[in-house]
Amino acid sequence: MAIVQALLISLTILLFPLLFFKTNDKVPLLMLPIKHRDDTNPSLALLPIISGNVIDDSKGYLALGRSTTSSSTATKYTPIIKDPSQPSRNFIHFIGISIDGRKLPIDPSILNSPGTILDTGTPITRLPAKAYTVLRDSFRRLMAAYPLGEKDKTLDTCYLITEERIKQIPLPKIVMHFKDVDVEVHRSGILVKTKKGFCLAFSAKRDEGTPGIIGNKQQSTYEVVYDLDGEKIGFRPNGCS
């Protein structure tokens, strides 16, 4: 029970910045409703955000207790990997990445050195530098018809595309492969709007000695179920309803 309470507290802290999306008038645009359940498995559904706007502000939520969808065949699970030296973190086995149906030549040992975690408080997915370079170069080739713009801080693949144009562009499909689960990234988690334009929502880790991070933008539209008793994390597509 203490472990469960600690996880719920950690989720609350991590989610707090996500509970309020501000308009220019500083008015809260979104609050995630909390669903209380009768057990100990929390789940989370994050909304896709395009150009700073929530697509549907009625469907995101944080659920506390057993998920009514946890036994659904639509929910696919990957095992939690525990590291005794980092007991508060839940690692998952990251197998690979595909783009437009082609598995990228990335050794899984690179993705799992020293490990990969899910993080609701980090927007952008951070990969080991070698893995990121392969993904970035492949993405750039598929987007060669669109001009690259100026880099934006840690995001180095940005495009000079208008908000209206971005809605019409068929973006390359990105799928993250975990053990027993394939997670297709929603288009809102592929390109993110910045001051420099629209940038690939992935970057290289700043420190190769730290775990890789699957950011919240790449988790959007999925219900992410933390099954603590079963030591696994589930992903349900189109789960924000």
Q: Domain locations in the chain?
A: 2-236
State the average pLDDT over residues 119-131: 93
- Pull the structure tokens for residue 114: 């020293």
Question: 48-96, pLDDT tens digit by residue?
Answer: 544 443 333 444 444 545 555 555 678 999 999 988 888 888 899 999 9
What gap in Å lies between CA 16 and CA 233, rounded to an integer?
21
Fill in the DSSP letter of residue 16.
G
pLDDT for residue 163: 86
Phi and psi at residue 167, in whole multiples of 5°? Answer: -70, -20
> Residue 136: in which H helix or E strand, if any?
helix 129-142
Element counts in the chain: helices (H) and strands (E): 4, 20
Q: Where are the beta strands (DSSP E) in 151-228?
A: 158-159, 174-178, 181-184, 191-194, 197-200, 202-204, 212-214, 223-227
Residue showing tokens 């690979």: 96
pTM over the 0.85 mark: no
**Separation between Cα atoms, residue 199 and residue 186, nearest integer Å:** 15
Q: Which CA distances in Å does 45 have to 73, 138, 171, 237?
A: 17, 29, 23, 10
**pLDDT score of 42 more than 90:** no
Q: Is 177 helix (H, G, I), strand (E, B) or coil?
A: strand
C-alpha separations of 178 from 118, 181, 191 in Å: 12, 5, 21
For domain 2-236, give its CATH number from 3.20.20.60, 2.70.98.30, 2.40.70.10, 1.10.3720.10.
2.40.70.10
By percentage, how much of the chain surpasses pLDDT 90? Answer: 47
Between CA 81 and CA 116 the distance in angstroms is 9
